[in-house]
């Protein structure tokens, strides 16, 4: 079985955690935001993103020349934990910070880095991730949105779906087929293009979430021109480049903490009730959370030390286990205390319950279904 | 991971791999043990790890020792290794003299012996390996309070017993037997520290067995063919493999975090969380591994049961999980001002395990 490193936070890191926490508590007291569960999907607030950007907390690990802070992956882990633990609205800049930045730093051109990264760190430039299509969900390599070479660029036609917050985003890193399926490798002939979502030929259509909220979208491409300068990495290398993003996407605290505000409120409620028996039951949740956090931080440490190749299997495992955990929280909570979940509830715990119940089905689907992840992990374990 | 630890782990694992096979482990059930293996570990200084050099120890620290214990769990080594090393660790922890011979311990406060004028009286059950060991390190109650005492087992009446895995778990009876060493009165914090350390040793053993069960099961899915292909190719079997890998990874990471916290004397509630979580790990790992092994895994001939039966025994020995759920619940309740997140991430409320005052 693979061994993940342990992490002991330094004093500077502990201090950083407290600084972030103090800032968030102050903003909370000022009424800048309302905490919610699953805030990294549903908490879109460009003003808050700009505030975070002013603090230097977007692109924390990136080089200073692009506006980053050159801090460690563990520092970013701490920052992300603090945002999610309090349920802060970090959705607007989320994907640009988590995925697009690292992608451009690894595969982007100098021009792309200089253009996009400083805007991203200011909290002013948001990216969507264009992967799924109506007929390409788990079988992602079957995407059929295509780009044809023309003078100076590419013409894109097709459709993406389930694009989180595309209606708020400025750009989308889009996986397209740049050469037809050769009958052998479905992974060949795929490329990543940065598409301007305000370009001519783009239509964004909301898909209402089951709560009635607008997070997901369909994005249609009708002869959209994308200049050559917006190709990420190499033409035909899109699959490999996309896989490299996955370790960042799959193993972070957001795969464990999406329902943390509910856990916290459950504990507070039990404390108010002086309910020792309830707290004993809740201690199992805390123990599970601790166990998962050990794994998730271990993967972050591996990413920090640059052993990216060893990371994909544990990262997939963390997502499969973590999302199952966050999904289970409302079900456990309602058996420990009486709740009445409604989205406009006066009592915080009832609102968090409502948000958690209604968002829970998505946890084990978005970013790779558990079934796909299980396949990845099983093959990895057997090959060891 | 220290270089020293890597080296120790490497050496011990090679020894155990070479010397411990299914047949040797089976002999425990017939009342035997493996003195040659003990001697080998002793010659190599592995039985004195984490005892300070001034007390005749071999150097090394608690992290090293817990990792050796983990390996003895992984190979189900039929020797009183945990018992002797932990007994000595506790003697040093309470400023008593460490001992040379094989030893065992009794740390359950509610079956503490009574101590009067240096004499021990009472009966305690489920004492590991008592029949094969010479000394007992045990909790005892005097009129002043609770002590840790060391006593020669030759004065005891020993009734043989065994746990679900056939490991010796004997009843020990003393009638006014003379103790060799007595600690000062232990505070409730001292007793809690001893309980915490004991649970850490048990977590080490369990981690080893869990790791081994995972290895055995993955290997079996590669060797066993049905419908013309190895069974790991079936998606429903893959689901078992992943769940098993997940629980094993959780256990290993939990163990590593516990040992690191103890090593840095920075233990807050890691042992509690790990012990609570291991209940679920053990339930999942034993169920899944048997399901994957199917009929052959239920036979005595196969080695799987040597590890699953041990887990089913070890989880109920020593301090029960309810002690830890109650502890966490009480801490949460008493931390009235703090949110759960502050509690989970706080380092200000460190409760280092201090050595008992001499």
Assess if residue B350 is contained within a domain. Answer: no
Rounded distance between C-alpha atoms, residue A49 and residue A92, angstroms: 7
Residues B334 and B254 in one domain: yes
Cβ atoms B266, B221 nearer than 8 A: no
Enumerate the residues of chain A whose CB falls inside 8 A of the CB of residue B336.
Answer: 271
pLDDT grade for B337, boundaries at 50, 70 and 90: confident
* Rounded average pLDDT over B252-272: 92
Co-location of B197 and B299 in the same domain: yes
Whether B194 and B322 map to the same domain: the answer is yes
Report yes or no on B84 lying in a domain: no
Q: Assess if residue B352 is contained within a domain.
A: no
pLDDT confidence of residue B349 = 43
| B249/A317 touch (CB, cutoff 8 Å), yes or no | yes
Q: Tell me which chain B residue has its CA closest to the CA of residue A287.
A: B273
Indicate the pLDDT class of residue B351, thresholds 50, 70 and 90: low
Let me know if residue B91 belongs to a domain: no
Contacts of A384 in chain B (CB under 8 A): 218
Q: Residue B307 CA to chain centroid, in angstroms?
A: 14
- Using one digit for the tens of pLDDT, what is the confidence trace for B133-165? 999 999 999 999 999 999 999 999 999 999 999
Find the CB nearest B332 among A271, A298, A379.
A271
Q: At what angle do helices A312-336 and A276-304 cross, to 10 degrees?
A: 170
CA distance B340 to chain A (A): 5
Residue B86 lies in a domain: no
Contact A288 B280 (CB under 8 A): yes
List every span in chain A annotated with CATH 1.10.540.10: 11-125
Residues B319 and B254 reside in one and the same domain: yes
- Please tell me what DSSP assigns to residue A233: S
User: Bridge-partner residues for B113, per DSSP?
Assistant: B140
Q: Look at residue B179 and tell me whether its pLDDT is greater than 90.
A: yes
Distance, in angstroms, between A36 CA and closest chain B CA?
15
Does B178 share its domain with B205?
A: no
> Is it the case that residue B353 has pLDDT exceeding 80?
no
Q: Which of A367, A335, A149 is nearest to A245 (CA)?
A: A367
How far is the C-alpha of A367 from the C-alpha of A237, rounded, in Å?
20
Last residue of one domain, picked from the residues B134, B161, B186: B186
Domain A251-383, CATH 3.90.420.10 — does that match?
no
Please tell me whether residues B193 and B298 are part of one structural domain. Answer: yes
Kindly report the nearest CA distance between residue B344 and chain A, in angstroms: 8
Q: Which of A276, A288, A382 sits opposite B329 (nearest CB)?
A: A276
First to last CA, chain A: 8
Tokens of A51: 């505030």
Q: What is the pLDDT of residue B55?
A: 86
Closest partner residue to A279 (CB to CB) among B211, B242, B332 is B332
Interface probe for B, chosen from A286, A302, A312 (most Cβ of B below 10 Å), is A286
Q: Same domain for B171 and B204?
A: no
Question: In this structure, is residue B326 part of a structural domain?
Answer: yes
- Same-domain pairing of B195 and B333: yes
Rounded to 10°, the helix B235-263/A370-383 angle is 80
How far apart CA A224 and CA A220 sit, in angstroms, is 9
- Is A264 in contact with B253 (Cβ distance < 8 A)? no
B332:A384 CB<8 A: no
Looking at the predicted structure, is the pLDDT value of residue B357 above 90? Answer: no
User: pLDDT-derived band of residue B2, with 50, 70 and 90 as boundaries?
Assistant: low
Of B1, B5, B351, B2, which is closest to residue B196 (Cα–Cα)? B351
pLDDT score at B161: 97
Which residue on chain B is closest to A384 by alpha carbon? B218
CATH 2.40.110.10 spans which residues of chain A? Answer: 129-238
Nearest by CB to residue B242, choosing from A81, A283, A374, is: A374
Size of interface A-B (CB pairs under 8 A): 145
pLDDT in the model for residue B30: 93
Confidence of residue B348 (pLDDT cuts 50, 70, 90): very low
A317 in contact with chain B, both atoms CB, cutoff 8 A:
yes
Ranges in chain A annotated CATH 1.20.140.10: 251-383
Asked if B150 and B193 sit in the same domain, the reply is no
pLDDT at B352 over 70: no
pLDDT at B356: 64
Provide CB contacts within 8 A for B100, sequence distance 6+.
Answer: none
Range of the domain at B148: 102-186
User: Cβ contact (<8 Å) for B277 and A287?
Assistant: yes
pLDDT reported for residue B98 = 95
Q: Evaluate if residue B322 carries a pLDDT over 90.
A: yes
For B201-237, write each residue's pLDDT tens digit: 999 999 999 999 999 999 999 999 999 999 999 999 9
Same domain, B317 and B178: no
CB–CB contact B328 A384 (8 Å): no
A237 C-beta neighbours (distance < 10 Å), count? 17
**What is the nearest CA distance from B322 to chain A, expressed in angstroms?**
8
Per-residue pLDDT at B1: 46
The whole-angstrom separation of Cα B15 and Cα A273 is 55
Domain count, chain B: 3
Q: Provide the chain A residues 326-355 that lie in CB contact (below 8 A) with chain B.
A: none
Closest chain B residue to A268, measured at CA:
B339
B279 with B328, same domain: the answer is yes
Q: What is the CATH number of the domain that holds B58?
A: 1.10.540.10
CATH of A11-125, one of 1.10.540.10, 3.40.1260.10, 1.10.1200.10, 2.40.37.10: 1.10.540.10
Pick the residue from chain B with its C-alpha nearest to A271.
B333
**Residue B96 within a domain:** no
A363 contacts chain B (CB < 8 A): no
Assembly ipTM: 0.94
Interface test with A, best of B67, B218, B231, B242 (most A CBs within 10 A): B242
Report strand pairing: B135-141 vs B119-128: unpaired
CATH number of A129-238: 2.40.110.10
Task: Tell me which residues of chain A have a pLDDT lower than 70.
Answer: 247-248, 307-309
- What residues 2-31 of chain A have any CB closer than 8 A to a CB of chain B? 2-4, 6, 8-9, 14, 17, 21
* Residues B334, B297 share a domain: yes
Q: Which residues of A touch B246 (CB under 8 A)?
A: 317, 320-321, 377
**In this structure, is residue B97 part of a structural domain?**
no
Distance, CA of B314 to CA of B203 (rounded, Å): 9
Q: Please tell me if residue A291 touches chain B, with a CB cutoff of 8 Å.
A: yes
Does the CB of A152 have a partner CB in chain B at under 8 Å? no
Residue B253 has pLDDT above 50, yes or no: yes
């Amino acid at each position: 079985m693979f061994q993940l490193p342990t992490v002991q936070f330094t004093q500077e890191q502990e201090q950083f955690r407290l600084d972030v926490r103090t800032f968030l508590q102050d903003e909370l007291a000022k009424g800048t935001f309302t905490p919610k569960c699953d805030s990294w999907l549903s908490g879109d607030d460009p003003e808050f993103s700009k505030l975070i950007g002013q603090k230097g907390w977007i692109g924390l690990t990136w080089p200073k020349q692009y506006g980053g802070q050159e801090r460690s992956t563990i520092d970013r882990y701490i920052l992300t934990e603090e945002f999610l633990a309090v349920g802060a609205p970090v959705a607007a800049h989320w994907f640009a910070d988590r995925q697009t930045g690292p992608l451009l730093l690894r595969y982007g051109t100098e021009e792309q880095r200089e253009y996009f990264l400083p805007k991203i760190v200011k909290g002013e430039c948001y990216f969507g991730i264009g992967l799924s299509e109506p007929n390409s969900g788990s079988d992602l390599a079957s995407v059929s949105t295509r780009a044809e070479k023309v003078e100076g660029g590419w013409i894109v036609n097709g459709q993406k779906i389930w694009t989180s917050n595309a209606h708020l985003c400025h750009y989308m890193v889009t996986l397209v087929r740049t050469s037809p399926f050769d009958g052998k490798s479905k992974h060949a002939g795929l490329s990543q293009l940065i598409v301007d979502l305000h370009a001519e030929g783009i239509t964004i259509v909301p898909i209402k979430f089951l709560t009635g909220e607008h997070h997901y979208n369909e994005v249609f491409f009708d002869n959209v021109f994308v200049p050559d300068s917006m190709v990420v990495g190499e033409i035909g290398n899109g699959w490999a480049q996309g896989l490299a993003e996955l370790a960042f996407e799959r193993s972070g605290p957001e795969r464990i903490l999406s329902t943390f505000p509910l856990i916290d409120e459950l504990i507070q409620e039990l404390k108010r009730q002086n309910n020792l028996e309830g707290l004993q039951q809740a201690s199992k949740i805390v123990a599970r959370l601790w166990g998962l956090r050990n794994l998730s931080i271990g993967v972050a440490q591996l990413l920090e030390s640059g052993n990216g190749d060893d990371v994909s299997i544990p990262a997939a495992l963390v997502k499969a286990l973590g999302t199952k955990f966050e999904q289970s929280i409302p079900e456990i909570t309602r058996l420990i205390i009486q709740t009445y979940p409604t989205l406009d509830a006066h009592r915080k715990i009832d609102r968090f319950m409502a948000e958690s119940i209604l968002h829970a089905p998505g946890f084990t689907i978005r970013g790779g279904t558990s079934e796909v992840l299980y396949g990845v992990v099983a093959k990895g374990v057997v090959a060891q | 991971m220290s270089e020293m630890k890597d080296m120790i782990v490497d050496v011990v694992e090679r020894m155990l791999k070479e010397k411990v096979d299914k047949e040797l482990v089976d002999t425990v059930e017939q009342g035997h043990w493996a003195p040659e293996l003990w001697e080998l570990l002793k010659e190599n200084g592995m039985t004195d790890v984490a005892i300070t050099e001034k007390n005749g120890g071999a150097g090394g620290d608690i992290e090293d020792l817990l990792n050796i214990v983990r390996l003895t769990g992984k190979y189900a080594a039929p020797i009183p290794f945990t018992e002797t090393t932990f007994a000595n660790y506790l003697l040093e922890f309470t400023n008593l003299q460490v001992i040379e011979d094989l030893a065992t311990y009794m740390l359950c406060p509610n079956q503490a012996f009574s101590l009067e004028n240096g004499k021990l009286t009472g009966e305690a059950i489920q004492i590991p390996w008592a029949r094969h060991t010479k000394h007992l390190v045990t909790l005892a109650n005097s009129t002043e309070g609770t002590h840790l005492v060391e006593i020669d087992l030759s004065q005891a009446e020993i009734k043989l017993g065994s746990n679900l895995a056939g490991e010796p778990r004997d009843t020990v009876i003393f009638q006014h037997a003379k103790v060799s060493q007595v600690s000062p009165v232990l505070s409730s914090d001292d007793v809690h520290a001893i309980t915490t350390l004991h649970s850490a040793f048990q977590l080490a053993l369990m981690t080893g067995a869990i790791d081994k069960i995972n290895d055995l099961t993955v290997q079996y899915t590669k060797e066993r063919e049905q419908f013309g292909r190895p069974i790991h190719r079936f998606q429903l079997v893959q689901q078992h493999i992943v769940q098993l890998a997940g629980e094993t990874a959780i256990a290993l990471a939990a163990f590593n975090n516990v040992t690191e916290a103890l090593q840095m004397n920075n233990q807050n509630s890691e042992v509690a969380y790990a012990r609570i979580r291991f209940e679920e790990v053990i339930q999942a790992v034993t169920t899944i591994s048997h399901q994957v092994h199917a009929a052959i895994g239920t036979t005595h001939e196969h080695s799987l049961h040597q590890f699953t039966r041990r887990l089913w025994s070890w989880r109920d020995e020593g301090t029960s999980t309810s002690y830890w759920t109650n502890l966490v619940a009480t801490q949460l309740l008493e931390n009235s001002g703090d949110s759960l997140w502050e509690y989970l991430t706080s380092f200000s409320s460190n409760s280092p395990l201090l050595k008992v005052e001499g």
